[in-house]
């Protein structure tokens, strides 16, 4: 029972590690804790963390969960190891565990799965197949009672387990159980027919290579069918945490699987731009525009990048392209106003801001920018009116009050200018 004892010990060690690390394992622990310890969770597993297919087999969610699984492992493991031998038993256990995990995540991508039960069902399947196909040298009558117990255990777990699972854990993962059982039946049948003797080393290696091929085939299918969506979901999670490096990595990996996903490529470009990596941002946006020259989001984004790089004529052209087919684009109006203003074309910029405020009178910052433009053009009455309209939209703000003070002073309204400066100072103190 050397291998059985080793597997048993690893499971217990991981459980104790979780306990000493403060994980609430006397009851169902938080999903985040289980994920941190290697649980099988679709969006993580299928987005590249395939090692979770194996690590989850050694993680358990509660004391009752590990107690039941270790009791079954001790009984079935000792029997299977004595019949198959050490290395055959170990390979059987691990491959069935991985295939069980694949079945779980393939059946439901959003389910979080832990526990040794899938691998244990694999042992049960192998023992059942080997018995009926004549693997064992001992008389069948000597093994019949044990076989009946195994069949009852499998049937009860598959049928009654989901009904009673709430007594012990959050849920019973029958997809993993079925995956482990079927893989065990297949591998047990192959061992019985192809390599029944312990010294049939090469044929048994061939059996397990076939099992590994099944596992890799399942991984390849999952990666093809669910890999893109999983990586996009993972990228959004990294973005929410502010981890742009990993978000970029996941988006790039997703786009290798689906190069035509325009919206995701635009998002990748924006993340590059947020980091100040304008070269890669522009390259991604140009890939989008090569496919869809009128993509408003890509054109607006590339205009913003040009604006930040002070490539003002190019920025102006990009925003004008957007407005040529969508005159109501507020982002393009705002961007074009910025590009024109930076080139000293204040009157043209003012026209764009005026159009923007007509489209959306409640746009924050639009009236303020209009006021700045009007003040530069010495249109002080209009500037004062624009700053007050910005206050109606955005509320009291020290920056707006200071701009008002300058407009009042330029118009010779000294008392109003002084009052605005004092209010700006009070607002700054409050901040």
Say how far apart CA 213 and CA 221 lie, in whole Å. 12
Confidence of residue 65 (pLDDT cuts 50, 70, 90): confident
Domain finish residue from 197, 225, 253? 225
Q: What is the DSSP string of 34-52?
A: HHHTT-EEHHHHTTT-TTH
pTM of the model: 0.75
Q: Do residues 14 and 34 lie in contact, with contact meaning Cβ atoms separated by under 8 Å?
A: no
Q: Which residue has the tokens 């392209």?
A: 321
pLDDT in tens, 404-413: 999 999 988 9
pLDDT in tens, 263-274: 999 999 999 999
pLDDT at 171 over 50: yes
Say how far apart CA 218 and CA 228 lie, in whole Å. 16
Confidence of residue 360 (pLDDT cuts 50, 70, 90): confident
The mean pLDDT of 142-148, rounded to a whole number, is 63
Is 275 a member of any domain?
A: no
CATH of the domain at 372: 1.25.40.10
pLDDT at 276 over 60: yes
Q: Do residues 97 and 180 lie in contact, with contact meaning Cβ atoms separated by under 8 Å?
A: yes
Domain finish residue from 225, 258, 286? 225
Q: To the nearest whole percent, how much of the chain has pLDDT over 70?
A: 90
Higher pLDDT, 397 or 141: 397
Q: 132 to each of 140, 143, 186, 189, 380, how far by Cα in Å?
A: 9, 11, 12, 9, 96
Is 376 a member of any domain?
A: yes
Quick check: helix, strand or coil at residue 28? coil
Higher pLDDT, 431 or 118: 118
Q: Give the least confident one: 8-17, 138-147, 215-224.
A: 138-147
Q: Beta partners for 40?
A: 113
Q: Strand pairing of 112-113 and 40-41?
A: antiparallel
DSSP state of 57: G
Confidence of residue 168 (pLDDT cuts 50, 70, 90): very low
pLDDT at 162 over 60: no
Confidence of residue 71 (pLDDT cuts 50, 70, 90): confident
Given this model, what pLDDT does residue 170 score? 45
Quick check: helix, strand or coil at residue 346? helix
Residue 367 is a catalytic residue: no
Given this model, what pLDDT does residue 429 score? 83
CATH of the domain at 76: 1.20.1540.10
- State the total domains in the chain: 2
Say how far apart CA 198 and CA 321 lie, in whole Å. 74
Q: Which of 117, 130, 157, 334 is catalytic?
A: 117
Is 102 a member of any domain?
A: yes
Given this model, what pLDDT does residue 137 score? 56
pLDDT at 11 over 70: yes
Is 246 a member of any domain?
A: no
- Which pair of tokens denotes residue 251? 């988006």
- What is the 3-class SS of 355-398, one letter each residue? HHHHHCCCCCCHHHHHHHHHHHCCCHHHHHHHHHHHHHHHCCCH
pLDDT at 135 over 60: no
pLDDT at 26 over 70: no
Question: What domain range is 85 assigned to?
Answer: 2-225
Is 85 a member of any domain?
A: yes
DSSP state of 295: -
Given this model, what pLDDT does residue 5 score? 95
Q: What is the DSSP string of 185-198?
A: HHHHHHHHHH--ST
The mean pLDDT of 55-72, rounded to a whole number, is 88
Given this model, what pLDDT does residue 318 score? 94
Q: Give the least confident one: 81-90, 131-140, 247-256, 346-355.
A: 131-140
Given this model, what pLDDT does residue 146 score? 64
Residues 6+ apart with CB under 8 A from 24: 30, 33
How does the average pLDDT of the chain come out, rounded?
A: 88
Given this model, what pLDDT does residue 262 score? 92
pLDDT at 304 over 90: yes
Are residues 221 and 366 both part of a single domain?
no
**CB < 8 Å & 24+ apart, contacts of 285-294:** 288/262, 291/260, 291/262, 292/262, 294/321, 294/325
Is 67 a member of any domain?
A: yes
Output Rg (C-alpha) for the chain, integer angstroms.
33
Say how far apart CA 169 and CA 117 lie, in whole Å. 13
Max mean pLDDT among 8-17, 26-35, 197-206 falls in 8-17
Q: Beta partners for 74?
A: none
Phi first, then psi: give them for residue 380, nearest 5 degrees.
Answer: -70, -40
Q: Do residues 123 and 92 lie in contact, with contact meaning Cβ atoms separated by under 8 Å?
A: yes
Say how far apart CA 226 and CA 234 lie, in whole Å. 12
Q: Give the least confident one: 53-57, 155-159, 393-397, 411-415.
A: 155-159
pLDDT in tens, 79-96: 889 889 999 999 999 999
Domain finish residue from 210, 225, 240? 225
Residue 117 is a catalytic residue: yes
pLDDT at 45 over 80: yes
Q: 59 to each of 4, 25, 65, 331, how far by Cα in Å?
A: 16, 11, 10, 50
Is 397 a member of any domain?
A: yes
Is 97 a member of any domain?
A: yes
Given this model, what pLDDT does residue 197 score? 84
Q: Do residues 161 and 118 lie in contact, with contact meaning Cβ atoms separated by under 8 Å?
A: no
pLDDT at 163 over 60: no
Largest CA distance in the chain: 112
Given this model, what pLDDT does residue 7 score? 96
Q: To the nearest whole percent, how much of the chain has pLDDT over 90?
A: 55
Q: 211 to each of 42, 125, 187, how far by Cα in Å?
A: 22, 14, 7
Q: Which of 60, 65, 177, 272 is catalytic?
A: 177
């Amino acid at each position: 029972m050397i291998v059985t004892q080793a597997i048993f010990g690893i499971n217990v060690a991981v459980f104790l590690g979780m306990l000493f690390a403060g994980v609430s394992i006397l009851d169902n622990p938080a999903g985040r804790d289980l994920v941190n310890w290697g649980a099988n969770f679709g969006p993580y597993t299928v987005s590249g963390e395939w090692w979770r297919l194996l690590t989850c087999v050694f993680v358990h969610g509660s004391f009752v969960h590990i107690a039941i699984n270790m009791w079954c492992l001790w009984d079935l493991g000792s029997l299977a190891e004595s019949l198959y031998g050490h290395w055959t038993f170990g390979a059987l256990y691990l491959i069935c565990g991985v295939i069980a995990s694949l079945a779980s995540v393939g059946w439901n991508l959003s389910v979080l799965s832990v526990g040794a039960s899938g691998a244990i069902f694999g042992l049960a399947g192998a023992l059942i197949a080997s018995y009926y196909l004549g693997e064992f040298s001992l008389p069948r009558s000597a093994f019949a009672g044990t076989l009946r117990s195994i069949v009852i255990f499998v049937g009860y777990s598959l049928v009654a387990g989901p009904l009673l699972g709430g007594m012990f854990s959050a849920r019973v993962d029958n997809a993993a159980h079925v995956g482990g059982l079927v893989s065990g039946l297949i591998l047990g049948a192959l061992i019985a027919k192809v390599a029944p003797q312990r010294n049939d080393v090469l044929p048994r290696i061939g059996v397990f290579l076939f099992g590994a091929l099944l596992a890799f085939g399942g991984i390849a299918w999952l990666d093809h069918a669910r890999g893109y969506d999983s990586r996009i979901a993972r990228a959004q999670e990294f973005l929410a945490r502010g981890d742009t490096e990993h978000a970029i990595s996941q988006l790039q990996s997703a786009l290798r699987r689906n190069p035509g996903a325009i919206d995701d490529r635009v998002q990748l470009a924006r993340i590059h731009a947020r980091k100040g990596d304008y070269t890669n941002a522009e390259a991604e946006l140009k890939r989008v525009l090569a496919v869809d020259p009128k993509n408003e989001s890509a054109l607006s984004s590339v205009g913003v990048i040009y604006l930040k790089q002070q490539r003002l004529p190019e920025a102006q052209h990009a925003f004008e392209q957007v407005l040529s087919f969508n005159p109501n684009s507020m982002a393009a109006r705002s961007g074009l106003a910025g590009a024109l203003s930076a080139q000293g074309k204040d009157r043209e910029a003012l026209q764009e801001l005026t159009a923007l405020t007509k489209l959306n009178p409640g746009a924050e910052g639009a009236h303020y920018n209009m006021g700045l433009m009007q003040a530069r053009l010495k249109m002080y009455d209009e500037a004062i009116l624009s700053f007050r309209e910005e206050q109606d939209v955005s509320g009291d703000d020290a920056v707006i009050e200071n701009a008002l003070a300058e407009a009042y002073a330029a118009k010779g309204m000294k008392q109003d200018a002084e009052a605005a400066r004092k209010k700006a100072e009070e607002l700054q103190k409050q901040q």
